[in-house]
């Protein structure tokens, strides 16, 4: 499973419920998993296209761990 | 002279309390998948945690509890893992947090722990509702939910569904329900095109695709059967079919269609059988939402001395929007108080029209006033109409009649 670092406001605007999610240390970006992005009815296309629509990018799990540890995510 | 004192108390109705656990993160549900090849969990809860909320609905039939949700009233909260207080379990330390704020999210637990395959975690919430009106404490305990992980090796079966694991139904957002109401009341003409436009992800007609996988590939063997069950408790499943269950429109091996107007809150499990052997199951929940709404009068004009009748229309806001045809969703019983008669019931519905002479309003400063108001509450899930013998009532074309 891949994970998406996405713009928090854009994710909320397409109806993704952000309860319990992890955010970067300034609160701008949110960490989503592949399932919640692909199950969203507003977004379309493959995972990369959907991530781009959220001003974000999809990463494999091990890369995500490197990013959030380096950037001190909540 | 001081007389003896007589203390008078407000006489409140007792609380009726319903509790359950709701998964608020459909992307991180109760069930995970473990990939042995890569030693990863999907989803990984350390990255996208799961949030579970005790859904407390406390209400009193005298209207003394303004909103049915009661999480703010929770005290002595405990989450139990297999019957043991989670705060006492060393292997859970730092992997959960419990909301202790004074808001309607009070009591929610956020879990960042992955559950190993073949481990079964039963999660239960207990607490106390403090009823300040009666000075009483009411103990509550939810039914348990099960956190589990499926080991997805190459030859394992698994079920996948195209909808969330928690299907929430908000009748305020249901355009199909509104279309039906308008057609039934002659407000618009029936039209297949309009009806189709009203069907979306918020409609009471909910269909989702179900796919059985064997390892990473879709299973296409003809000996596969899908059955749907109500979860009535631990190890207590009751099969539901389109023939015997009103809320089920159809069940095939690849799809399930439900009419979720008829469901207040129900837990389901879909089980796949190859031959007679169970090979995979998927649990999901359907719950009716009760969002906060605001009710107000439209007619606030004074009563002229020559007026014979009074007319008013209810206006309802929900989530910042004016609700079209609120009588479709909300039960509104119009009432009046005057100096002579209090609590006089007029009618139920979105509008009222009554004779002023029936209200007891007078002609002097002391009694020339009238309070108009309504007893309002969101209607519960629909039920099927039956006669005294339990036979379903139908219309002239054989369609079942439902009401709420």
Separation in Å, CA B139 to CA B18, B78, B143, B237: 11, 11, 14, 27
Domain map (residue ranges) of chain B: 10-152, 154-289, 293-378
Beta-ladder partners of B259: B205
For residue B234, the SS3 value is coil
Selecting from B24, B43, B164 the residue whose C-beta is nearest the C-beta of A33 gives: B43
Confidence class for position A21, pLDDT limits 50, 70, 90: very high
Work out the minimum CA distance from A35 to partner chain B, whole angstroms: 6
Q: What is the DSSP letter of B220?
A: -
Taking CB atoms and an 8 Å limit, are B49 and A1 in contact across chains? no
pLDDT of residue B306: 92
Q: Tokens for B98, please give them.
A: 């419990």
Q: What is the CATH number of domain B10-152?
A: 2.60.40.10
Number of domains in chain A: 1
Work out the minimum CA distance from A57 to partner chain B, whole angstroms: 15
**CATH architecture of the domain with residue range B154-289:** Sandwich (2.60)
CA–CA gap between residue B266 and residue B20 (Å, rounded): 10
CB < 8 Å to B163, chain A: 39
Q: Tokens for B189, please give them.
A: 């003409």
Look at A9 and B117; give whichever has higher pLDDT.
A9
Q: Which of B60, B61, B25 is nearest to B44 (CA)?
A: B25
CA–CA gap between residue B322 and residue B329 (Å, rounded): 13
Task: From first to last of the 404 residues of chain B, give the pLDDT tens digit.
Answer: 667 777 777 888 888 888 888 888 888 888 888 887 788 899 999 999 999 999 888 888 787 877 665 788 888 999 999 999 999 999 999 999 999 988 888 999 999 999 988 788 889 999 998 888 888 888 999 988 888 888 776 577 888 887 777 888 999 999 999 999 999 999 999 999 999 999 888 999 998 888 898 877 888 877 889 999 998 876 788 999 888 788 999 999 989 999 999 999 999 999 999 888 888 888 888 999 999 899 999 998 999 999 999 999 999 999 889 999 999 999 999 999 999 999 999 999 999 999 999 999 999 989 999 999 999 999 999 998 888 888 888 888 888 888 88
Taking CB atoms and an 8 Å limit, are A32 and B44 in contact across chains? no
By the CB < 8 Å criterion, does A26 face chain B? no
**Full residue range of the structural domain in which residue A40 is found:** 2-70
Selecting from B27, B49, B108 the residue whose C-beta is nearest the C-beta of A32 gives: B27
Beta-ladder partners of B48: none
By the CB < 8 Å criterion, does A19 face chain B? yes
CB < 8 Å to B44, chain A: 1, 33, 61
Q: Give the CA dihedral B104, B77, B44, A33, nearest 10 degrees.
A: 0
Look at A4 and B9; give whichever has higher pLDDT.
A4
Cβ atoms within 10 Å, residue A15: 11
Of chain A, the percentage scoring pLDDT greater than 70 comes to 100
CA–CA gap between residue B121 and residue B82 (Å, rounded): 6
By the CB < 8 Å criterion, does B216 face chain A? no
pLDDT of residue A56: 93
As for the ipTM of the complex, it is 0.92
Does A71 score more than 80 pLDDT? Answer: no
By the CB < 8 Å criterion, does A20 face chain B? yes
Work out the minimum CA distance from B42 to partner chain A, whole angstroms: 6
Q: Which of B225, B226, B238 is nearest to B282 (CA)?
A: B226
Taking CB atoms and an 8 Å limit, are B48 and A39 in contact across chains? no
Chains A & B: contacts with CB separation below 8 Å: 58
Cα first-last separation, chain B: 58
Work out the minimum CA distance from B200 to partner chain A, whole angstroms: 10
Note the Cα B71 to chain centre separation in Å: 15
Pairing between β-strand B309-318 and β-strand B321-322 as defined by DSSP bridges: antiparallel
Pairing between β-strand B31-35 and β-strand B145-151 as defined by DSSP bridges: parallel
Query: Quick check: do B10-152 and B154-289 share a fold?
Result: yes
Side-by-side strand order, sheet with B109-111: B16-23, B50-59, B109-111, B96-98
Work out the minimum CA distance from A54 to partner chain B, whole angstroms: 17
Q: What is the DSSP letter of B74?
A: E
Contact assessment for residue B140 and residue B173, using Cβ atoms and an 8 Å cutoff? no
Block residue for tokens 């008669």:
B341
Does A51 score more than 80 pLDDT? Answer: yes
- Label residue B311 left, alpha or beta by phi (over 0 means left) and psi (-120 to 50 means alpha): beta
φ, ψ dihedrals at B163, nearest 5°? -115, 170
State pTM to two decimals: 0.58
pLDDT of residue B153: 66
pLDDT of residue B108: 94
By the CB < 8 Å criterion, does B168 face chain A? no
By the CB < 8 Å criterion, does B49 face chain A? yes
Contact assessment for residue B281 and residue B159, using Cβ atoms and an 8 Å cutoff? yes
By the CB < 8 Å criterion, does A32 face chain B? yes
């Amino acid at each position: 499973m891949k994970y998406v670092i996405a713009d928090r406001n854009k994710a909320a605007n397409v109806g993704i419920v952000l309860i319990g999610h992890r955010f970067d240390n300034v609160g701008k970006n949110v960490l989503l998993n592949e399932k919640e992005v692909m199950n969203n009815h507003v977004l379309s296309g493959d995972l990369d296209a959907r991530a781009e629509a959220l001003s974000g990018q999809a990463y494999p799990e091990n890369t995500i761990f490197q990013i959030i540890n380096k950037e001190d995510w909540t | 002279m001081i007389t003896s004192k007589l203390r008078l108390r407000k006489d409140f109705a007792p609380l009726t309390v319903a509790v359950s656990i709701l998964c608020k993160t459909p992307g991180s549900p109760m069930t995970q998948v473990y990939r042995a090849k890569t030693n990863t969990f999907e989803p990984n809860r350390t990255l996208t945690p799961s949030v579970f909320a005790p859904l407390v609905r406390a209400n009193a039939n005298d209207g003394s509890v303004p909103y049915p949700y009661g999480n703010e009233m929770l005290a002595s909260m405990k989450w139990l893992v297999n019957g043991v207080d989670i705060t006492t379990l060393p292997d859970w330390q730092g992997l959960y947090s419990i909301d202790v704020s004074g808001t309607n999210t009070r009591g929610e637990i956020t879990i960042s722990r992955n559950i190993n395959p073949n481990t079964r975690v039963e999660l239960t919430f207990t607490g106390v509702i403090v009823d300040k009106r009666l000075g009483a404490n009411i103990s509550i305990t939810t039914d348990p939910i099960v956190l589990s992980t499926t080991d997805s090796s190459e030859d394992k079966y698994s079920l996948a569904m195209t909808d969330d694991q928690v299907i929430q139904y908000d009748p305020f957002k249901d355009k199909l329900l509104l279309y039906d109401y308008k057609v039934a009341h002659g407000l618009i003409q029936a039209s297949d095109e309009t009806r189709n436009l009203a069907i979306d992800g918020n409609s009471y007609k909910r269909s989702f695709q179900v796919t059985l996988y064997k390892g990473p590939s879709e299973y296409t063997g003809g000996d596969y059967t899908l059955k749907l069950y109500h979860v009535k408790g631990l190890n207590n499943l009751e099969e539901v079919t389109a023939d015997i269950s009103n809320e089920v429109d159809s069940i095939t091996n690849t799809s399930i269609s439900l009419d979720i107007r008829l469901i207040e809150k129900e837990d389901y499990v879909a089980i796949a059988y190859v031959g007679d052997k169970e090979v995979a199951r998927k649990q999901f929940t359907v719950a009716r939402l009760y969002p906060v709404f605001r009710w107000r009068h439209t007619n606030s004009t004074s009563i002229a001395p020559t007026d014979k009748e009074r007319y008013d229309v209810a206006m309802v806001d929900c989530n910042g929007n004016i609700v079209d045809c609120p009588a479709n969703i909300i039960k509104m019983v119009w009432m009046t108080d005057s100096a002579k008669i209090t609590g006089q019931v007029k009618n139920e519905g979105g509008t009222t029209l009554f004779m002023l002479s029936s209200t007891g309003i007078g002609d002097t400063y002391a009694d020339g006033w009238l309070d108009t108001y309504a007893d309002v509450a969101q209607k519960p899930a629909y039920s099927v109409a039956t006669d005294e013998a339990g036979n379903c009532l139908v219309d002239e074309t054989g369609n079942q009649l439902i009401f709420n």
